[in-house]
Structure 1
Amino acid sequence: MSDSGHHRPPANQTFWPHKELQRLKRVRAYLRKINKPAVKTIQSPDGDMIDCVSSHLQPAFDHPQLKEQKPLEAPERPKGWDSVEAVTESFQLWTNSGESCPEGTIPIRRTTETDVLRANSIKKFGRKLPRVRHDTMSSDHEHAVAYVNGEEYYGAKASINVWAPSVTDQYEFSLSQLWVISGTFGNDLNTIEAGWQVSPQLYGDNYPRFFTYWTSDAYQSTGCYNLLCSGFVQINNKIAIGAAISPRSSYSGTQFDITLLFEGKSNLQLN
């Protein structure tokens, strides 16, 4: 009997083209880097996995200048600023079950393979394009801006109504944010941004989600959404950046908002 060397593969075996296989390997290596070991994991009603990660292991401390550092103590809250514990019970979906992350940890929305594959590349995942316009004339970016400038500022505060607007496809997004900037709108632009956004491409659904963003070079090579890169240090163990906000406002119905406070040079508080 002779054997020609040709064998039929098992019916459930999948063959990946070499290029796709290499991409998948890169994505999985990235996920091993960005998803830190969890002390506890909480399943959110929207399907998210929220990992309670030791504060000193969060992605921020992968940055060379933050190696071996530890999170600072939370700053003293301004007078009249309500306790965050009083308002976060129903602020995000993952807390609806009553579970929370223990002291010494922070909640981080776990990034999945599907999340990264929705982006064109790992390099672009969780990042804005390096293009900034401070007007309302851009044909592909409709927005309204209210701003103040010309003085020396030590903080900013805003209450933002939360909605769940429909977007027509996964490449569109809608957001409302507080945006603190320094520099010009050239390559020296520095921003700290926070608010809510609906972004099917980034999150895979149409929930409004609490987000942060920062850049120190006009989105050229620094900064990212939420905790998807090193740099932004989180100290709060009750709010998951990138997690869905609940409840939301409804037309002619109950209105809900979040209040954001930028304090000093780099502290962000949420109520």
Structure 2
Amino acid sequence: MYLIVFLTTVSWSVKQTTNGETYNCVDFYEQPAFDHPLLKDNKFNFQPSSSYSVDSSGSSNKKQSDIWLNGKGCPIGTVPIRKTTRDDLSRAESAAETVHTNTNNNYLHVAVLRTSEEKKYYGAGMITSVYNFAVSSRQYSSSRIKLQNGPDSIVVGWTVRKKMENRTIYSVLNPLIKKDSHCYNTLCPGFILMSPDTPFDSVLQVSERGNHIRAQKFFVRKDAASGDWVLQIGLDNTTVGTWPQRIFSKLNDSATYVDWGGEAYSASSEDLPPMGSGFPPMQSSKLDGYGRQVTVVDENQQVDYNPPECVTYTSNNKRYKIFDEGVLETDNQRLILFGGSSGPA
């Protein structure tokens, strides 16, 4: 079962982005996140206890002032929620139906660097190149980070899917109360937007393979004081939103597994979609999908720029590949290269 929320709240104002998207500025406590059954009491007062110092060099997202036509976002006390039509909601519902989190599924494939030791992890991050390519209505392709403990998982990154207008957008996979149920971004409850200036499900700038590479930084951490999981993006480590720990049964403590890389899904009757840059990796950051600055937050709440005990894994080595380049001497950052072209499974 997948939950789609119709927005009936009254907005304070309407804002437009430079990409032509329209957002309602909705009162903080009226956003869809609080429709989650464990958040309906609205008792939420998030105060970040710290901001991890994570270098964001190489992340090429726009400044927030460049996103909006008027140069600024929503008023303080409100958050931007994309204005939705019934067609938007229908597309989102269809997109949710293609979400699969179990890699034992024959139609879901990953090419990832993953932790091999079950330890406690309190965060993870990477800067990943951003691409767009053609996918069918029964496919999606993502570059993402996944943190997991038992049945609970947090997945963040970017996704291309035809059902969401074939755009490359920010992507947060939201867990729902029902087992194995998920949905995307702000259309579903659970993920609380914190920033009045950041339209989270907006269109991303994409790379020109072999030429100008666009990249985006994603960093998820568990706040030491509140216990909530926090999503930060971009050059200035903007806190975009948070998952309250109370919506989880296992991630309310820590993650025990992390992976970084690509994910692709296609219905059984179709070829598999592209991944990464859309081409088989050539072990070049100009040509391949990449993840730079691959990090974890360890048991001591320290950012580790060279996560130990990690191995590469590809569920379909015929179609997709990943390379762990290790820590580069040029910038002292862990690099992974991954991807693949469309074709038969």
TM (norm. structure 2) is 0.57
Out of 159, 162, 165, the position equivalent to 1:197 is 159
CA contact (8 A) 2:176 2:183 kept: no
- Which structure 2 residues correspond to residues 104-115 of structure 1 after superposition, within 5 A? 104-115=77-88
Match of 1:23 in 2: none
CA distance in 1, matches of 2:208, 2:198: 23
What is the identity, as a one-letter code, of the residue corresponding to 2:127? S
CA contact (8 A) 2:16 2:23 kept: yes
Match of 1:25 in 2: none
CA distance in 1, matches of 2:139, 2:63: 27
CA distance in 1, matches of 2:95, 2:8: 14
Alpha-carbon spacing, 1:209–1:130, altered in 2? closer, same or farther (3 Å) = closer
Out of 107, 111, 114, the position equivalent to 1:144 is 111
Give per-residue Cα distances to partners, 1:173-209, cap 9 Å, x unaligned. 22111111111xxxxx1111110111121x22x2210
CA contact (8 A) 2:60 2:214 kept: no
CA contact (8 A) 1:192 1:213 kept: yes
Higher mean C-alpha displacement, 63-72 vs 227-236:
63-72
Out of 31, 42, 56, the position equivalent to 2:29 is 56
Q: Structure 1 residue 171 and structure 2 residue 130: aligned?
A: no
DSSP 3-state at the match of 2:167: coil
Q: Structure 1 residue 243 and structure 2 residue 202: aligned?
A: yes
DSSP 3-state at the match of 1:208: strand
CA contact (8 A) 1:129 1:219 kept: no
CA contact (8 A) 2:64 2:72 kept: no
Out of 139, 149, 161, the position equivalent to 1:182 is 149
Out of 146, 160, 169, the position equivalent to 2:128 is 160
Alpha-carbon spacing, 1:233–1:270, altered in 2? closer, same or farther (3 Å) = same
CA distance in 2, matches of 1:178, 1:76: 23
What is the identity, as a one-letter code, of the residue corresponding to 2:111? A
CA distance in 1, matches of 2:131, 2:64: 13
Q: Please report how far the alpha carbon of residue 263 of structure 1 lies from its aligned counterpart in structure 2 after TM superposition.
A: 0.8
CA distance in 2, matches of 1:80, 1:112: 40
Alpha-carbon spacing, 1:74–1:171, altered in 2? closer, same or farther (3 Å) = farther
CA distance in 2, matches of 1:133, 1:231: 21
Where does the alignment leave 5 or more consecutive residues of structure 2 unmatched?
223-227, 235-345
Higher helix proportion (structure 1 or 2): 1
Q: Please report how far the alpha carbon of residue 46 of structure 1 lies from its aligned counterpart in structure 2 after TM superposition.
A: 4.0
Q: Please report how far the alpha carbon of residue 250 of structure 1 lies from its aligned counterpart in structure 2 after TM superposition.
A: 0.9
DSSP 3-state at the match of 1:164: coil
Alpha-carbon spacing, 1:217–1:151, altered in 2? closer, same or farther (3 Å) = farther
CA contact (8 A) 1:198 1:207 kept: yes
Structure with larger Rg: 1
Where does the alignment leave 5 or more consecutive residues of structure 1 unmatched?
1-29, 184-188
CA distance in 2, matches of 1:236, 1:87: 19
Match of 2:174 in 1: 214
Q: Size of the alignment, in residue pairs?
A: 223
Alpha-carbon spacing, 1:196–1:93, altered in 2? closer, same or farther (3 Å) = farther
Alpha-carbon spacing, 1:87–1:55, altered in 2? closer, same or farther (3 Å) = farther
Q: Please report how far the alpha carbon of residue 230 of structure 1 lies from its aligned counterpart in structure 2 after TM superposition.
A: 1.7
Alpha-carbon spacing, 1:217–1:103, altered in 2? closer, same or farther (3 Å) = closer
Q: Please report how far the alpha carbon of residue 96 of structure 1 lies from its aligned counterpart in structure 2 after TM superposition.
A: 5.5
Higher strand proportion (structure 1 or 2): 2
CA contact (8 A) 1:55 1:105 kept: yes
